[in-house]
Amino acid sequence: MPYFISGVTADHTNLIARTPDEFKSMNDIDVLPRHRVTSIDPDEHTVTVRDLTSGRDRVEPYTRLLLSTGAEAFVPPVEGTGLEGVFTLRRLGDSLRIKRYLADARPRRVVIVGAGPIGMEMCESFSTLGLEVTVIDMAGQVVPYMSPEMAARVQARIEEEGVNCILEQSISSIQGKSDGTVGGVVTGSGEIKADLVLLAIGVRPVSKIASDAGIELGAKGAIKVDAHMRTNRQDIYSAGDCATTSHIITGRQVWLPLGSTSRKQGRAAADNMFGGDAEFGGVQGTGILKCFDLTVGRTGLDEAQAIEAGFSPVAISMEAESLHEYYPEGGIILLKLLADGRSGRLLGAELVGQMRSVAEKRLDILSVAITAGMTADDLQYLDLAYAPPYSTAIDIPVIAGNIMSGKIRGGECGCGPQGLD
C-alpha cells in the first residue's frame, strides 16, 4: 500500500491477491463478502453469520473452522483521532482513502505517528509525493526494534531527505481546523502543524470473537495455537495475524504478525484441516523494509532478548562494501551480528545497507544460518556464490563469522575485512 500511495504501484486492483470470483472459479471456494460471523459455538460446530446487506442472521455448520481474523491498526486513546485527514494504514480501503484525500484536500504537511516499518515506508511515500514529512515516536530513535547505531543511520538518511524526526515524544491529542479537518498533533513539547496525520503505531490481533467462544488467547492477546495451528477447541484452527506462533530460537510463544508468516501458517493449517500433518516451524522475527535507498533488516534475537532467553550474547559490528572496488555497482553494508559466547551459536543479525548493496541477500543467508542452529565457525565456511558482480570473494556473512569466531576465542584472530583482503 505504501507503493500504491506513492504511485510505484499504479493500479490498486493488483494488490488484491484473489477476488471472490477468482476463489470460486479457480478453487470452487465460496467467499461471502458483507457477511460477519457474530459468534462461534465450538460444541455444536456452528457459527452464526449476519448478512450485512439484509441484516439477517443464520447459523452455518462447519466440520473444521479456520479463524483468520487478522489484526487491526491500533488507534491511541487520544482526542481527535476521528477528524477528517487522520488515517491508519491497514486495509486496502485505507490506502484508497488516503490517496483520495491527497488528491482532494491537497495536504502539504504530513505527520506520521510511529517510526516502525509502516512509518518508515510512508516517510518515503509521502516525501516522494513532495510533502513535508514529520515522524514522531515515543522511543529515542526511529525503527525502535533496531540497535541505536543502526537506527542512527536510518535517521540520518531520512533527515537528509528532509524528514523531520521528533523522538521521545508521545502525542497527547490531535487538533482540528475550523473546517473540521485535522490541523495538528500535540506532543509534550508543543503542537506540530499537520494537514494529514497517519497513525502507524502498530496492530492488535482481532481475537474477541475467539475468546467470546471460550478459545484460549496467548501472547499479546492473539489466538493461541500449537505448531499444527490448532486452538484449544476441537476442529478450530487459526492462522495469520490473529494467531500466536513459536520462536525458532527460544521455543517460546510469540506474536509477530507478518504477511510472509501468515502465508506459511495458512498453508500448514490447510494441510492439517484436510488430514495432513504439517508442523509450522515458527518464526525468528525476520523483517525488512526499504526507506529511500536504504534497506533495513533484522532477524533473530537482540541482546536483551538473548540474555532473557539465557544466552550470553557477544556482538560484533562491521561495515563492508558488498563488491570489490574494481566492480562498480556495490554499496556499503553495516552489519551487527550476535552469537552466544559459550556455544558460538548465531542468535541474531541487523543490517542497514544501500539498496545497491543487496543487503537483503546477506540478511536471508544469516536468517537461514540462524534457523539451522549454525555457529560462528560454521558461518566462516559457508559455500556462497562468488563472482565479482555478486559479492566479494569472501562475502560479508563469512567475514562476520571470522570476526565473531575470533572475538569468542578471545580476540586472537578477530581481524576485520582489511586484515582479510
Residues 21-80 interacting with a copy of itself (rule: CB under 8 A): none
| Residues whose CB is less than 8 angstroms from the CB of residue 70 and which lie 6 or more positions away in sequence, other chains included | 205, 206, 240, 241, 242
45: left (phi over 0), alpha (psi -120 to 50) or beta: left
Interacting residue with a copy of itself among 108, 162, 393, 411 (CB under 8 A): 393
Give the nearer residue to a copy of itself in terms of CB position, either 166 or 369: 369
CA gap 367, 351 in Å, rounded: 12
Site string for a copy of itself, 296-315 (x = CB under 8 A): -x-x----------------
Write phi, then psi, for 107 (nearest 5 degrees): -65, 150
Q: How far is Cα 199 from Cα 81, in angstroms, rounded to an integer?
A: 9
Q: Is 388 in the site for a copy of itself (CB under 8 A)?
A: yes
Contacts to a copy of itself from residues 326-355, by CB under 8 A: 326-328, 355
Among 96, 390, 414, 417, interactor with a copy of itself by CB under 8 A: 390
# of chain residues touching a copy of itself (CB under 8 A): 77
Is residue 107 within the footprint of a copy of itself (CB under 8 A)? no
Question: Residue 3 Cβ, how far from a copy of itself at the closest point, in Å?
Answer: 6
Closer CB to a copy of itself, 35 or 267, in the complex: 267
Given 37, 139, 258, 332, the residue binding a copy of itself (CB under 8 A): 258
Q: Residue 391 interacts with a copy of itself (CB under 8 A)? A: yes
Residue 101 C-beta-side C-alpha neighbours within 13 Å: 24
Q: Which SS3 state, helix, strand or coil, does residue 254 take?
A: strand
Residue placing its CB nearer to a copy of itself in the complex, 169 or 262: 262
Whichever of 166 and 398 has its CB closer to a copy of itself, that residue is: 398
Binds a copy of itself (CB under 8 A): choice among 207, 261, 305, 375? 261
| Of 55 and 410, CB closest to a copy of itself | 410
Contact residue for a copy of itself among 53, 103, 325, 410 (CB under 8 A) = 325
C-alpha–C-alpha distance, residues 287 and 212, integer Å: 32
Using CB under 8 A as the binding rule, whether residue 369 contacts a copy of itself is answered as yes
- Cα 50 to Cα 31, 34, 71, 208, 315: the distances in Å are 14, 8, 21, 17, 54
Q: Is 88 exposed, middle or buried (0-12, 13-18, 19+ CB in 10 A)?
A: buried
**Bridge partners (DSSP) listed for residue 193:** 184
- Segment 114 to 133, residues that bind a copy of itself, using CB under 8 A: 117, 121
Residue bearing cell 517510526: 115
**Residue whose CB is less far from a copy of itself, 118 or 192:** 118
Looking from the CA of 324 toward its CB, the CA atoms found within 13 Å total 11
Query: Please, which of residues 163-182 interact with a copy of itself by CB under 8 A?
Result: none
Angstrom distance (rounded) from CA 290 to CA 353: 10
Name the residue nearer to a copy of itself (CB basis): 251 or 373: 373
